[in-house]
Amino acid sequence: MKNYFIYLPNRKSNDPWECVATSLGYSKILPHHDYPPLRHPVDHHFTWANGRVLQAYQIIYISEGRGVFESESLTKRRRVSAGSILLLFPGVWHRYAPDEKTGWAEHWIECSGGCFDRARREGQIAPERPVLRIGFFPDLLLCFDRCHGLAQRVSVGSQTLLSTMGIHILSLVLESARLRRSAHLRGDDFVQDAQRLIMERYQERIQMQEIATSLRVGYSRFRQAFKSRTGLSPKQYQLQARIQKAQDLLLNTPMSVKEISLVLGFDSPYHLSRQFKHHVGLAPRYWRRTVHR
């Protein structure tokens, strides 16, 4: 996906959603490149030295790489890794940046409205908890993909649709945080290590029992805890990672479906096509044509 951003008018909303999406974007910062990109408008551009203060909420999902985050609500700098959510609050000074050696990929949406204010008042989100580590979250990525698609064809109704997507993204973040807290209470900290191992080897024909054994936990407990934390079984989690990578390869390379199926470890091109259509709604070839068109 190409880097982009859009900014929308911060109109007063009288609809029942109590949310207005005011900006949206995606950036992939390569190692040893300047951050933030200089193309950002003056009112959102900031430097590491000065940081910035926003007048709305932002949800930022870091899908690749790592970096750091600071804000006036924290006593020390926080490390940010792939699978982290950054929550930015109106009126709260902050700054963040990717690691120079790794860069990162960020998906973000900015919103204002009563639903975010209410989540803050009720303690569901708080400036004191600006970094949430949720790992690879397929539903959240699919939601951001939908937002990115809407952003590419801005129309009269796009802002309303993006506003409802902002509520959906907030609900996914709150649910992932709840699942993570419940997992910690049960002592299932090995799930995050399992997510990392699966993501590192998603294209291999790995046995999930091997992952459980390497983490020194019984497979039954491993599978139950994994599904409770992520909403997916370990095999489904691996499949979602493959489908996401297949979309990336279809969109950004000339590779054939057969070549992609070999690279990603599918049994055959038919197996890839069947799974892709089940999860995305279109066969790979039709999806590629539709997105390019």
Does residue 202 share a domain with residue 119? no
What's the rounded Cα separation, in Å, for the pair 26 and 210?
A: 36
Does residue 222 share a domain with residue 150? no
Please write the tens of the pLDDT for every residue from 69-102.
999 999 899 999 998 999 999 999 999 999 999 9
Does residue 198 share a domain with residue 91? no
Domain containing 170 — which CATH number? 2.60.120.280
Does residue 64 share a domain with residue 106? yes
* φ, ψ at 7 (rounded to 5°): -125, 135
What's the rounded Cα separation, in Å, for the pair 10 and 64?
A: 30
* Residue 219: both structure tokens together: 């497979």
Does residue 228 share a domain with residue 137? no
Nearest to 225 by CA among 181, 191, 179: 191
Domain boundary among 123, 152, 183: 183
Give the pLDDT score at 183.
58
Please write the tens of the pLDDT for every residue from 179-222.
666 655 455 668 878 888 888 888 888 889 999 998 888 999 89
Does residue 179 share a domain with residue 40? yes
Does residue 57 share a domain with residue 28? yes
Mean pLDDT of the chain: 86
What's the rounded Cα separation, in Å, for the pair 98 and 106?
A: 10
How much is the average pLDDT of 17-39? Answer: 86
Please write the tens of the pLDDT for every residue from 125-176.
999 999 998 877 788 888 898 899 888 776 656 788 899 999 999 999 888 7
Does residue 116 share a domain with residue 256? no
How much is the average pLDDT of 25-34? Answer: 92
How much is the average pLDDT of 26-52? Answer: 78
Q: Is the pLDDT of residue 42 over 60?
A: no
Q: Which residue has the tokens 């802002």?
A: 159
Domain boundary among 183, 205, 224: 183
Parent domain of 238: 190-292
Please write the tens of the pLDDT for every residue from 219-250.
998 998 888 877 889 999 999 889 988 988 89
Which of the pair, 45 or 13, is modelled with greater confidence? Answer: 45
Give the pLDDT score at 9.
78
HEC per residue, 128-183 = CCCEEECCCCHHHHHHHHHHHHHHCCCCCCHHHHHHHHHHHHHHHHHHHHHHHHHH
